Amino acid sequence: MVEELNVVIVGVGGQGQLFLSRLIAEVFARRGIGSLVAETHGMSQRGGSVIVHVRVGRRVKAPLIPIGGAHVMLGMELIESTRYLDYLRVGGVALVNEKMIRPAGQVVRLNEGELVNYILSRTPHLVLLSSSREATKLGVPVSANVHMFGAFAELVELAGLLEGVDDVVPSLLPRRQLELNLRLYRMGREELRGKLSREQVEGIKKVLVGGD
């Protein structure tokens, strides 16, 4: 039974954060575990900064994750991952798509490296993912979220919070381009597995199931 698992999904409006959040809530629901997903609609969806709160587990009643309360951040973009990093608890797990989208109409002097360094200064459990790159390579750039979902599925299975995600995923993905999406899902899983040392896995388990 999951007591409380808080996941913030952040990025730029249009990257598919809502679909990603629904996938997460549904895989837990299929195992009888309830969740609340506070979505972002309306104005902010138009290319603005987006945060979605996913709260899974028996103890959860309120829709919003408090600052410092997220066990996991799924960052679909680097600037937004940095902006919302204070939602992540100390030592929490940040799975971040290594893509930076500059806001339109502004000259922005920032590089990926300094953002990554800042995230690393707050948590050792940062994994950079190539979700956008892989999705673009396969010709479905909007499916970067499915790649990230694969990484998330691997994470929660490693931590022992869920099992058998593979079995339910085909029924949750859109029928159009199902094969490509399944491939991205598996690639996401593999990429995360390949990037975590045994030590990191142990550390991450403590964060995700260590209570409180």
Partner 1 sequence: MSLRRTLGLSEGQALLLGNEAIARGALEAGIGVAAAYPGTPSSEIIGSLAEVADEVGIYVEWSTNEKVAFELCWAAALSGVRALTAMKHVGLNVAADALMSSAYTGVNEGFVVVSADDPSMWSSQNEQDNRLYGLISYVPVFEPENPGEAKELTKFLFDFSSEFKHPVILRSTTRISHTRGPVALGPIPRPKVSGSFRPEPRYSLVPSNARVSRVEVLRKWREVSRRVNSIGFNKLYGDGRVLVVAPGLSHAYVSEALARLGLEDRVRILKISSVYPIPEELVLKAVDGVDLVVVVEELEPFVELQVRALLQREGVPVRVVGRNLEERNYELTLERVVNLLSRALGVEPRGVTPTSSTSGRPNLPARPPVLCPGCPYRPLAFELRRVLNQERIPAVIAGDIGCYSLIHYPPYRLQDTIVEMGGSLGLANGFSTVLRDHIIVSTAGDSTFFHACLPALVNAVYNNHPQIVLVLDNGTTAMTGHQPSPTTRINGRYVAPEEVARGIGVEFVAVVDPYDIAKVRETFLAAVRYVRERGRPAVIVIRRKCALVALRDMREAGEEVVPYEVDLARCIGCAICYSWFACPAITYREDKKAYIDPELCVGCGACVPVCPVKAIKPSKPVDQGRLARYWF
Q: How far is CA 197 from CA 123, 130, 146, 178, in A?
A: 15, 18, 23, 31
Sign of the torsion angle spanned by Cα atoms 75, 81, 86, 92: positive
* Element (DSSP H or E) covering residue 209: helix 198-209
Q: Does 211 bind partner 1 (CB under 8 A)?
A: no
Residue 3 makes CB contacts below 8 A (sequence gap 6+) with 57, 58, 59, 211
Q: Binding to partner 1 (CB under 8 A): which residues in 151-170?
A: none
* Region binding partner 1 by CB under 8 A among candidate stretches 83-91, 147-155, 187-195, 203-211: 83-91
| Nearer of residues 57 and 200 to partner 1, judged by Cβ | 57
Q: Binding to partner 1 (CB under 8 A): which residues in 53-72?
A: 59-69
Min. distance of Cβ 171 from partner 1 in angstroms? 11
Which residue type occupies 112?
A: E
Min. distance of Cβ 192 from partner 1 in angstroms? 23
Residue 120 makes CB contacts below 8 A (sequence gap 6+) with 126
Interface contacts to partner 1, rule CB under 8 A:
12-14, 21-22, 25-26, 29, 34-49, 59-69, 79-80, 82-83, 85-86, 102-108, 110, 114-115, 118, 121, 136, 141
